[in-house]
Amino acid sequence: MRTLLILTMPLAFGATKADDCFALRGDRSPEAVASMSRALEDPDIRSCAAENLRVIEAVEPLSRALTSKNPETRAAAARVLGTFRRNELIGQLAAVAADENLLAASNGFAALANYDAPAVIPALDQLARKGGMIGDLALDRLLKLDSSSALAAARDLLQHGTIADRLYALRIIGERGDSSDLPALKKIAAENTEKLESPSRGFGFMPAINLSRAANTAIESIRSR
């Protein structure tokens, strides 16, 4: 009772809350589960609470936490749920991977990356086609699980993606494409343009991205096979 009480109070003395949270590890009582569920919103013991819920496989409270207003809570819950690798959680984790908050989204993707079952392929394919940093990571993961799906997504990105997305697409097409890709690649190669990518995808100076050169590399790769 004392432990549960302390976990509902503001942190006052060093590691008191952390120690009490750890003391509840493995406790499956409804009171402990409810306390850990609330603690997911507490930055001082969020990681401990998430781990406690993982140990007892408390899927329901962790799933509810995926809709928290706090992106750090969504991130922690997604990270833990991904370790269970349950197919019924894929849709919820994919929604977090598409989150506007990068912390939540990256943890959502990390959760999906734990899966190697075919059931995760549609979710990765949808993320990959959206592009962006998470989309490019999803494309890489998709390539390992289903190269044909990755190639289809890459072809789509080559037509509709940003400059950086198209660069990712060219790499995939170079590795897995065939002669049917050559006309589109030759068109890009003929443009001989060099553009700077948007600074929103990274920090500091972004080097020039030469799509023409990347297209030529892809062409050579396809022809060499």
Hunting for tokens 């942190």 — which residue is that?
Answer: 11
- Name the residue among 120, 117, 121 with its Cα closest to residue 147: 121
Distance of alpha carbon 95 from alpha carbon 93, whole angstroms: 5
pLDDT for 201 equals: 47
pLDDT for 205 equals: 45
| Structural domains of the chain, count | 2
- In terms of domains, do 73 and 129 share one? no
Residue 69: inside a domain: yes
Residue 120: inside a domain: no
Q: What is the pTM of this model?
A: 0.86
Residue 115: inside a domain: no
**Residue 67 lies in domain:** 1-84
Distance of alpha carbon 189 from alpha carbon 166, whole angstroms: 13
> Which residues of the chain are modeled with pLDDT < 70?
1-15, 192-209
3-class SS shares of the chain: helix, strand, coil, % to 5 = 70, 5, 25
Distance of alpha carbon 199 from alpha carbon 64, whole angstroms: 35
Distance of alpha carbon 216 from alpha carbon 222, whole angstroms: 10
Confirm if 71 and 99 have CB atoms less than 8 A apart: yes
Alpha helices in 16-58 (DSSP H): 16-23, 30-39, 46-55
Distance of alpha carbon 49 from alpha carbon 4, whole angstroms: 12
Confirm if 113 and 82 have CB atoms less than 8 A apart: yes
Residue 129: inside a domain: yes
Distance of alpha carbon 43 from alpha carbon 39, whole angstroms: 8
Last residue of a domain, one of 84, 114, 143: 84
- In terms of domains, do 63 and 129 share one? no
Last residue of a domain, one of 59, 84, 109: 84
